[in-house]
A and B are shown apart, each in its own frame.
Chain A
């Protein structure tokens, strides 16, 4: 167990190191001098240029800058935003909660709707199956921003049931504000999970051990819960994990539709303003979250499927 976690952690750090290098390296290659953004379009006096260059260490060689950046990050210093003239960590700490709340709420919606509808499609009548499968096919084909625009126009503008912009004033109000964005973010993933669930439940239902349970006279409900759904959880968890990981990136789009001030909208603005310190930091955080979620799923897997020992999937 200990050695497994160590190995897993090592692999995780390696991936992070490589991605951080790529992210930093690519930004380094970017054309155009960031000086221009600090000093404005007309440039500055030679003294100003020298001062800014020294302040941001623009003159140092690539590796020196990379390792200084990495060292700072390890110490919790994510750099300084040229546009906002503020520490990146301060910019992010105010927004990371919004993104996390959005992603968590979506994950819950996806799990409930995906597993629920998928199971219904597999176990109920053909009619239910047809309806769920058709809806899933459409949901899978619909980009989150289209869902978002549709939700805003129908429930926000048309019916006026939900607020359409911002995150509200915390607590329940925030939850109400996040419902539409979370639905927009969930639709495609829930549709996909419903499909996977349906296939998994159908497959598990045909297994021999389900015959054993039936011939022992167990109640239908017990068979479905303990022998069909419990076993179908294995593929469902895999997909669910991958899905949550992609939600982190998907949040970028949805936050923009609903004007939520999260990491995603920060990233898009930073890209447009070529605020590289912010871009680097946000992308790194997105990748860290993505990788960490995947690692957690791998760990959950060993709990759900006793045949898989810790680390045997490495």
Chain B
């Protein structure tokens, strides 16, 4: 395996509130190589999004984070403000679940796309606009020139997510974090957007941390999978989808509804915290 770009080592996050402390990430460790895509899968509440928030340093200050997050040799958790801004601006790019909520409604698409490069790197707006138009075209946005003067509410969800992808690509990061980037879109837009993201990433040789609850989708576009449960990674590797070993992963894969047969009831996972703790104790 080639050189690691992002490495998480025993990352823990504890949420301190007035009355109690709750441990939400319990020692997450994984790494992503340069040009590699890792699919982070799990149910809602398993800690997937929390992990991306830890990587982007976007966790609420009420969280106490420990362990190590190393990006190309630099320790993310100990970065100062200037370093952190530089890391967020140049090294990573984040694609969110709901583009409608994550793009400021009062600025035009052109403002949104150019803002970062113009303000952080002092480029001329016209120059960035030209690059943005090319990129919009590449991610399948028609009439890119006209889009620049439109407002977010004038675009469909799928279009807006492409704009979001273009905005990330524009900054030329080395790692893209995509947190359920297709979940909020309608079904036809989902596969298009995913295909574009996959294609662009491979063409540019970027690393990808892909968060989803859709095992199949993750297996289709990622080299390796990591399965999360209760703030831990229970199993990871290239084998996970084809030949899972951990009981939770096996059950999760078995619970997928099939289009061939009509079920009376959808399966319910039997795996729970007790079994989880017991397995850990035995290991």
Contact = CB atoms under 8 A, between A and B. Distances in A.
Task: State if A and B touch, Cβ cutoff 8 Å.
Answer: yes
Interface of A: 207-209, 211-219, 222, 226-227, 230-231, 234, 304-307
B151 A218 contact: no
What band does the interface of chain B fall in when counting residues whose beta carbon is under 8 Å from A? 20 to 34
Nearest to A213: B104
Interface stretch (B94-102, B196-204, B271-279): B94-102
Contacts of B101: 207-209
B105 A217 contact: no
A219 B102 contact: no
Contacts of B93: 216
B119 A306 contact: no
18 contacts: A209-B101, A209-B104, A209-B105, A212-B96, A212-B104, A213-B104, A213-B115, A215-B92, A216-B167, A217-B85, A217-B86, A217-B116, A218-B119, A226-B104, A226-B107, A231-B104, A231-B105, A306-B108
A304 to B, nearest CB: 7
Interface of B: 56, 58, 84-90, 92-94, 96, 98, 101-108, 115-116, 119-120, 151, 153, 167, 171
Contact of B102 (A208, A230, A304, A305): A208
A227 B101 CA distance: 13
B96 A211 contact: yes
Nearest to B151: A306
B163 to A, nearest CB: 11
Contacts of B103: 209, 212
Given A212-B103, A215-B94, A222 B119 contact: yes
Contacts of B167: 216
A307 B171 CA distance: 28
Contact of A217 (B89, B104, B106): B89
Contacts of A208: 96, 98, 101-102
Contacts of A209: 101-105
Given A219-B85, A219-B120, A307-B153, 7 more contacts: A209-B102, A216-B115, A216-B167, A217-B116, A218-B115, A222-B115, A305-B106
A278 to B, nearest CB: 46
A127 to B, nearest CB: 18
A251 B52 CA distance: 56
A231 B101 CA distance: 13
Contact of A216 (B108, B151, B171): B171
Nearest to A214: B58
A217 B151 contact: no
A219 B116 CA distance: 10
A226 B88 CA distance: 18
A307 B88 contact: no
B185 to A, nearest CB: 16
B106 A214 contact: no
Contacts of B102: 208-209, 211-212
Contacts of A217: 84-90, 116, 120
A28 to B, nearest CB: 50
Contacts of A306: 105-106, 108, 151, 153
Contacts of A230: 104, 106-107
B123 to A, nearest CB: 14
A215 B104 contact: no
Nearest to B168: A216
Given A213-B104, A226-B115, A306-B153, A218 B58 contact: no
B232 to A, nearest CB: 25
Contacts of B58: 211, 214-215
A151 B94 CA distance: 55
A306 B92 CA distance: 30
A219 B121 CA distance: 12
A92 B167 CA distance: 58
A215 B89 CA distance: 7
A68 B144 CA distance: 61
A234 B105 CA distance: 12
A234 B151 CA distance: 16
Contact of A307 (B87, B90, B96, B151): B151
B94 A212 contact: yes
Contacts of B171: 216
A165 to B, nearest CB: 46
B6 to A, nearest CB: 15
Contacts of B119: 218-219, 222
Q: Which 4 A-B pairs have the closest CB atoms?
A: A217-B89, A217-B88, A208-B101, A209-B104
Contacts of B96: 208, 211-212
In the complex, which of the residues A217, A226, A304 has the most CB atoms of chain B within 10 Å of its own CB atom? A217
Contacts of B88: 214-217
A214 B104 CA distance: 12
Nearest to B97: A208
B104 A216 contact: no
Name the residue in A214, A215, A231 with the highest tally of chain B Cβ atoms < 10 Å from its Cβ.
A215
B106 A218 contact: no
A113 B264 CA distance: 64
Contacts of A227: 104
A302 to B, nearest CB: 12
B149 to A, nearest CB: 11
A307 B105 contact: yes
B21 to A, nearest CB: 22
Contact of A215 (B56, B106, B151): B56
Nearest to A221: B119
A73 to B, nearest CB: 41
Contacts of B84: 217
